[in-house]
Amino acid sequence: MTVQQPEFDARVFVKLQIDEIAQRLGGERAIIAISGGVDSTTCASLAYKAMGKNLLCVFIDTGFMRLGEPRRVKALLSKRPLALPIRIVGAQERFIEAIGRNEDAEEKRKAFRETFYRTLSDIAKNEGCRFLIQGTIAPDWIETKGGIKTQHNVLEQIGIKAQERYGFTVIEPIANLYKDQVRVVARYLGIPREISERQPFPGPGLLVRCVGRVEQGKLKALKRSTQIVEKHLATTGGQQFFAVVLDNTVEDHPAKEPLQKQVSESLKIRSREVKVNILQNKATGVRGDSRVYGRIASVSISKKHREVYGWLIEKLKELQSRLTSTSTDLTRILYTIREGKESAPYDVAIRAIETRDFMTADIVGIPWATLTAAAKEILKKCSNVAHVHYDLTSKPPATIEFE
């Protein structure tokens, strides 16, 4: 009994959404914030087809973009076939001020969201736009509603009344799609491959990869490391790969000793060749459908064994699941690739995952030679980085981003 599976039909979806947008707006103007990612670009492209010049596309430069990103995105979107009229709005200072010295992941995300919508609201008022179109997709509202993390683009689903608070009505044409389906729509719309196949970049940008407090030198190290990781992992990194920056500050934690013992048993090496640290920074995770804001452990083994296990990805995955299932507040296990100057204030971690829909994720086994090459370059170019680690954690118990 073989029956053909009904595929997701982009043609039907596109037609339906264009009609609906046109009907709901009835000649009114609307604003959309574009990041250059596949969600917002697909959404803008749909809206542009429905309403033409009545759509105002803005790119908000939050200061948490990658090096050269605003310029690159503008160039890509303004040229054909998209030809979207796009305006860059600089708001770096406003964002830095709002985030301030906050260390907590959720506080940072909420401050970001508020600043993001205030900025949009100001522009919308000036331009007489009563509607905001945005590219929220399914995992965004599922995670925000489930209390896992505050996505920057989710309002109505958690009871924030956008109309009262910001003066616009929100329209979300792709809110029921998953990433892979959005890509199907993007390809159908003829969006350039550079965007339709681009790896996701979180709404709050590098903010959620700058773990803990934001500092200037820390953000700089993150921007450089991001560029280096994107270059080295371009062909091996899976659906998403990136760098995060952490504080090189460790804590005295009761779990340290038992973890050390477990690593030594798991990898069958002597315990004096194993060093486990619990970092002071915390990272967002998910266990049994509940949010956990948990601990990050780094595992450093002697140079003699490090490379051997560095190639044995299955062993490292096993190690991660063993450690996270015994110590209940761990959400991240890092495997140290290389050390620089011990006294430097920051650490960098490299994360690479494979997934279809971003609801679950497995790590990708990056060749050890690639990891060490990336780590070497990071340590050379960022003198304020002490260690470079490889993140071993699947989702669950981690989330894809650190915060």
Pairing of strands 346-354, 55-61: unpaired
Is residue 143 a contact point for another protein (CB under 8 A)? yes
CA distances from 374 to 211, 227, 337, 341 (A): 20, 10, 10, 17
Measured CA to CA, the distance from residue 339 to residue 320 in angstroms comes to 21
Is residue 6 a contact point for another protein (CB under 8 A)? yes
For another protein, give the closer residue by CB, 337 or 363.
Answer: 363
Measured CA to CA, the distance from residue 301 to residue 365 in angstroms comes to 18
Residue from 78, 163, 249, 290 binding another protein (CB under 8 A): 290
Measured CA to CA, the distance from residue 114 to residue 64 in angstroms comes to 15
Residues near another protein (CB under 8 A), total: 36
Is residue 333 a contact point for another protein (CB under 8 A)? no
Is residue 70 a contact point for another protein (CB under 8 A)? no
* Piece of the chain touching another protein by CB under 8 A; list 24-32, 164-172, 229-237, 356-364: 356-364
361 forms beta bridges with 395
Residue from 22, 160, 344, 359 binding another protein (CB under 8 A): 359
Is residue 237 a contact point for another protein (CB under 8 A)? no
Element (H, E) at 334: strand 330-339
Residue from 92, 302, 360, 383 binding another protein (CB under 8 A): 360
Is residue 286 a contact point for another protein (CB under 8 A)? yes
Is residue 288 a contact point for another protein (CB under 8 A)? yes
Residue from 111, 340, 394, 403 binding another protein (CB under 8 A): 394
Of 65, 56, 15, the closest CA to residue 36 belongs to: 65
| Residue 133, burial from CB neighbour count under 10 angstroms (0-12, 13-18, 19+) | buried
Residues that bind another protein (CB under 8 A): 1-3, 5-6, 8, 138, 142-143, 146, 148, 178, 286-290, 317, 320-321, 324-326, 328, 354-357, 359-362, 394-397
